[in-house]
């Protein structure tokens, strides 16, 4: 009987709404529906909580516009992927060896994925694809700047130093893996969030090499609080006045942990970083000469590539 009365009241409310001559806005969807629909293509300035019907309606109005833009992006990227595939088939392995070719191919593939995911049920990869497309697009613009006289030399120098840096890091990544696994084994049982799994531990080890060592919060305070607890000195002011002692982070194996930290500071933070700096600074003259020669080569190749492309049509 109660359900019947509720249905009757709902029907009466619907009849009153239909009988009115006012313009009716669509009812606001639930928060879950809005969260499912909102992505990069819809609207960037709106959040989900505390919004009125007008705000949510405006979001969905912009969603229609952005989905049309997604169709345009998908169409253009599809044509460009086909065009690049034809060029790779025509020019062979020499065309594939160019770095800017793969960057441009990555831009089109990211745009293609960003557009096609719009029609799939799972949209969790829309924003990552959009982020990758934005990064590669601006990075490709940086590669284009090599052909200009005023800034091309600096871009070429940057790319040459980047290539040397990646070669060195590829070799000495063994040290990063070695220390990352060591810190994971030693600190994973000490409630250290950044050392709870291997990938996060490797990332943290790499960031420590760049200056984010955070020695006191990671090693100093946990060891100090652990020693005070082992000596039953938890009522002393040096313990109670230390906010870090309220945390559960501790150093389970202090001797080996501090030994590994000392080796890490010596090998990675001092030796490896200074070697990378010396590599970038010491070879700057030769890199500058090679970069200028490469820039001249690229300026000559542009009209020749355009000529051969038009001649093959």
Lowest mean pLDDT among 137-141, 143-147, 201-205: 143-147
Q: Which of 3-17, 154-168, 226-240, 275-289 shows the lowest mean pLDDT across its residues? A: 3-17
CA-CA-CA-CA torsion for 47, 52, 56, 61, nearest 10 degrees? -130
Q: Which of 53-57, 167-171, 220-224, 268-272 has the lowest mean pLDDT?
A: 53-57
Is pLDDT of 254 > 50? Answer: yes
Q: Residue 24 pLDDT more than 80?
A: no
Contact 40, 134 (CB under 8 A): no
What's the pLDDT at 22? 46
- Between 187 and 289, residue with greater pLDDT: 187
Bigger pLDDT: 296 vs 177: 177
Confidence of residue 118 (pLDDT cuts 50, 70, 90): low
Would you place residue 72 in the very low, low, confident or very high pLDDT band (cuts 50, 70, 90)? confident
Checking 119-125 for CB contacts under 8 A at 24+ apart, the result is 123/36, 123/39
The rounded percent of the chain whose pLDDT value lies above 90 is 22
Angular region, 50: left φ>0, alpha ψ -120 to 50, beta rest: left
Residue 193: how many CB atoms within 10 A of its CB? 9
Q: How far apart are CA 247 and CA 264, in angstroms?
A: 25
Report the predicted TM-score, pTM, of the whole model to 2 decimal places. 0.68
More confident: 241 or 261: 261
- pLDDT at 257 > cutoff 60: yes
Render pLDDT for 74-98 as a digit per residue (tens, 0 to 9): 888 899 889 888 888 887 777 778 8
More confident residue, 174 or 51: 174
pLDDT interval class at 63 (50, 70, 90)? low
Rounded to whole angstroms, what are the CA distances from 73 to 68, 108, 111, 141, 247? 9, 9, 6, 18, 50
Asked whether the predicted pLDDT for residue 29 surpasses 60, the reply is no
CA distance 224 to 230: 10
pLDDT of residue 9: 55
What single string gives the DSSP state of each residue in 206-242?
HHHHTT---HIIIIIHHHHHHHHHHTT-TTSHHHHT-
Q: Which long-range contacts (CB under 8 A, 24 or more apart) does 213-219 make?
A: 213/265, 213/269, 215/261, 217/244, 218/192, 218/249, 219/251, 219/257, 219/258, 219/261
């Amino acid at each position: 009987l109660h359900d019947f009365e509720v249905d009757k009241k709902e029907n009466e409310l619907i009849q009153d709404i239909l009988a009115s001559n006012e313009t009716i806005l669509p009812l606001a969807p639930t928060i879950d529906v809005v969260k499912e629909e909102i992505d990069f293509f819809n609207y960037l300035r709106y959040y989900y909580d505390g919004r009125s019907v007008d705000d949510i309606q405006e979001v969905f109005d912009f969603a229609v516009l952005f989905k049309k833009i997604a169709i345009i992006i998908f169409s253009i990227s599809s044509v460009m992927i086909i065009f690049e595939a034809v060029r790779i088939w025509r020019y062979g392995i020499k065309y594939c060896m160019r770095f800017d070719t793969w960057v441009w191919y990555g831009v089109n593939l990211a745009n293609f994925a960003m557009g096609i995911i719009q029609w799939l049920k799972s949209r969790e990869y829309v924003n990552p694809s959009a982020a990758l497309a934005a990064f590669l697009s601006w990075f490709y613009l940086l590669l284009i700047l090599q052909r200009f006289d005023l800034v091309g030399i600096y871009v070429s120098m940057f790319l040459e130093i980047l290539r040397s840096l990646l070669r060195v890091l590829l070799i000495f990544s063994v040290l990063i893996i070695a220390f990352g696994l060591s810190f994971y084994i030693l600190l994973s049982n000490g409630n250290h969030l950044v050392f709870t799994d291997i990938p996060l531990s490797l990332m943290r080890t790499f960031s420590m090499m760049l200056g984010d060592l955070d020695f006191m919060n990671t090693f100093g305070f946990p060891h100090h609080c652990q020693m005070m607890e082992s000596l039953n000195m938890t009522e002393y002011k040096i313990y109670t006045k230390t906010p870090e002692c309220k945390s559960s982070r501790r150093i389970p194996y202090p001797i080996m942990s501090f030994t590994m930290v000392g080796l890490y500071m010596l090998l990675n933070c001092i030796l490896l970083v200074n070697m990378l700096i010396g590599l970038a600074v010491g070879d700057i003259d030769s890199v500058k000469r090679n970069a200028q020669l490469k820039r001249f080569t690229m300026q000559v190749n542009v009209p020749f590539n355009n000529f051969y492309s038009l001649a093959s049509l």
